[in-house]
Chain A
Amino acid sequence: NAGVTQTPKFRVLKTGQSMTLLCAQDMNHEYMYWYRQDPGMGLRLIHYSVGEGTTAKGEVPDGYNVSRLKKQNFLLGLESAAPSQTSVYFCASSYKGFGNQPQHFGDGTRLSIL
């Protein structure tokens, strides 16, 4: 069982470059989330999706865009990377429900912006 798969696992970018992080889940989950994790801070929600074709802003959406063209995939884009976006990014998914379903996490993508 693959669960939630994130690619790539590591990436180094230069300021101003763009990239896309891919999250794929094989559990037929409706809800998908992108978080960032920084030292001394909890997981912070960037964007989320409640189903194919939907996206919504989370707590820290600035500088990021997302797309959910297929139910199993949730893409996180950085249009013009900034050093403040250096972080570990986690994708998660859940079956559905208003917070009463556990979230399943990927292994994370470590992103460094120079």
Chain B
Amino acid sequence: ILNVEQSPQSLHVQEGDSTNFTCSFPSSNFYALHWYRWETAKSPEALFVMTLNGDEKKKGRISATLNTKEGYSYLYIKGSQPEDSATYLCASGNAGGTSYGKLTFGQGTILTVHP
């Protein structure tokens, strides 16, 4: 079982601030890294799926990078808005014949953006 860790556990920022979180995962047998956004009272929604070392993905003001050799991914939010307030989950997928798309999730980073 992979151990996926996210930091910080929670974060409070002011509207307009830029921020970033970290996801650490075991680099051996790595296959894919997922980021999900989870708003209160809703279901997790996929932001990015990354597989290649050095991969960078962007969606609006949110971007993510991936380092598979050292086992970490960063999620960046530029110019945070109150609607960005959510829990951001990362999850790592393992390679191997029995992986079957299984993901191991981190505990999440809770972001609160204050107006």
A residues near B (Cβ < 8 Å) are 4, 31, 33, 35, 40-45, 48, 50, 56, 58-59, 90, 94, 96-108
User: Complex Cα distance A4/B45, Å?
Assistant: 12
B86 at the binding interface (Cβ < 8 Å): no
Q: If A42-B107, A43-B89, A100-B93 touch, does A31 touch B101 (CB 8 Å cutoff)?
A: yes
- Choose one: A56, A100, A102; the contact of B100 (CB below 8 Å): A56
* Min CB gap A12→B, angstroms: 19
> Quick check: A103 and B100 within 8 Å, CB to CB?
no
Q: Are B106 and A48 in contact (CB under 8 A)?
A: no
Classify the interface of chain A: helix, strand, loop or mixed.
loop
Q: Contacts A41-B107, A42-B89; is A102 near B101 (CB within 8 Å)?
A: no
CB atoms of A103 and B34 under 8 A apart? yes
Query: Complex Cα distance A49/B51, Å?
Result: 23
- With beta carbons under 8 angstroms apart, the residue of A33, A40, A42, A108 that contacts B43 is A108
With an 8 Å Cβ cutoff, the count of chain B residues facing the other chain is 28
Please give me the residue from chain A that is nearest to B41 by CB atom: A107
B94 within 8 A of partner (CB): yes
Using Cβ atoms and an 8 Å threshold, which residues of chain A touch B45?
A: 105
Contact of B49 among A33, A41, A102 (CB under 8 A): A102
Distance of A48 Cα from B98 Cα, bound (Å): 12
Contact partners of A43 in chain B: CB under 8 A? 44, 89, 91, 105
Inter-chain CA distance A90–B89, complex, in Å, is 14
Chain B residue numbers with a CB within 8 Å of A42 are 4, 89, 104-108
